[in-house]
Structure 1
Amino acid sequence: MERRERPQGTGSAEELEVIHDRARVAAMAAVGVKADEVKILDMHELVSYTDYLVLATGRNTRLTKRIAEEVAFKLKAEAGLLPMGVEGTGGEWVLLDFVDFVVHVFTPEAREFYRLDVLWKQAPVEVVQ
């Protein structure tokens, strides 16, 4: 499947609000199953491939898989969304690609190694608890 590309910063305020609400559903689902350090990074002015990144940490691979499963379940139940792609089902770093937003679920070691928080430090951040 080909990745959707669009010019940076496009999309109406209403569209971005809907996308943000869906990213927030993902973040709250992660919090609901004991994810730590849950953040939503606003990427829509920085990259063309997505509007938001949702970052979450699970204490171990079993929990990262459970967090990813819950996120996918909630988004299907509440918004009718299925991920366009899923990577890392082994659990160190699980990625759920919903195109307009991407969910990353890490073990603490993987989050420290990849440091997406630092890589995208210029992105506005919403901490979700």
Structure 2
Amino acid sequence: MVDTTGTRVSKSGGNVTGIRTESAIQTALENARRVAQVCDEFRGQDTIVLDVTHITPLFDYFVITTGRSRRQLHAIADQSDDVMDQQGTKRRSTTGYETEWICQDYGDVVLHVFSPAAREQYSLEDLWADAIQVEWSNGHVSESENGEE
């Protein structure tokens, strides 16, 4: 829900669970695009950005990509840290750095870098099927339901 001041208010069970300004959400979208571009530059496969602002107050965007080797997974994760740090956003946590699923939390953006087998096994796209897929490639960003514009 967006109120008259441009603030997005999340509610659950009648209780306010999150308050975010539209400019904060726009900044999160720009950061998600930057991380997706890092994934692309490091040859991550099937990179997607999911808008989860209407599903959870905990974060705004998921960036999900697949790497073919542990070295590639690490390169994507490490470069994403550098890019986000340049934007003034520090990584809050990381898990799975020595596994097939690296998850990095930047607050409003969460990066998931999977091996092919782990991505298939955990299938976050299906788990978060109510999320809106955001087009991010070629400098073009538009929100679309299920990838359709």
User: Aligned to 2:43, what secondary structure does the other structure show?
Assistant: coil
Runs of 4+ with deviation above 3 angstroms: none
Give ranges in structure 1 of 5+ residues lacking alignment: 1-5
User: Aligned to 1:18, what secondary structure does the other structure show?
Assistant: helix
CA shift, 1:15, in A, is 1.4
Which residue of 12, 17, 42 corresponds with 1:7? Answer: 17
CA shift, 1:116, in A, is 0.2
CA shift, 1:40, in A, is 0.7
Structure 2 residue 73 is matched with structure 1 residue 82? no
Q: Which residue of 1 aligns with 2:100?
A: 92
User: Aligned to 2:46, what secondary structure does the other structure show?
Assistant: strand
Instruction: For 1:56 and 1:107, locate their aligned partners in 2 and report how far apart those are by CA, in whole Å.
Output: 9
Instruction: For 2:66 and 2:73, locate their aligned partners in 1 and report how far apart those are by CA, in whole Å.
Output: 7
Q: How does 1:1-129 map to 2 (within 5 A)?
A: 7=17, 10-77=19-86, 79-129=87-137
Instruction: For 1:89 and 1:115, locate their aligned partners in 2 and report how far apart those are by CA, in whole Å.
Output: 19
Q: Percent identity of the aligned residues?
A: 27
Instruction: For 2:81 and 2:21, locate their aligned partners in 1 and report how far apart those are by CA, in whole Å.
Output: 26
CA shift, 1:19, in A, is 0.8
Change (3 A) 1:64 1:127: farther
CA shift, 1:126, in A, is 2.0
Name the TM-score, length of structure 1 as normaliser: 0.88
Give ranges in structure 2 of 5+ residues lacking alignment: 1-15, 138-149
Instruction: For 2:60 and 2:132, locate their aligned partners in 1 and report how far apart those are by CA, in whole Å.
Output: 11
1:38/1:127 contact within 8 Å kept: no
1:72/1:83 contact within 8 Å kept: yes
Q: Which residue of 1 aligns with 2:13?
A: none
User: Aligned to 1:44, what secondary structure does the other structure show?
Assistant: coil
Name the TM-score, length of structure 2 as normaliser: 0.77
Letter matched to residue 64 of structure 1: L
Aligned length: 122
CA shift, 1:53, in A, is 0.6
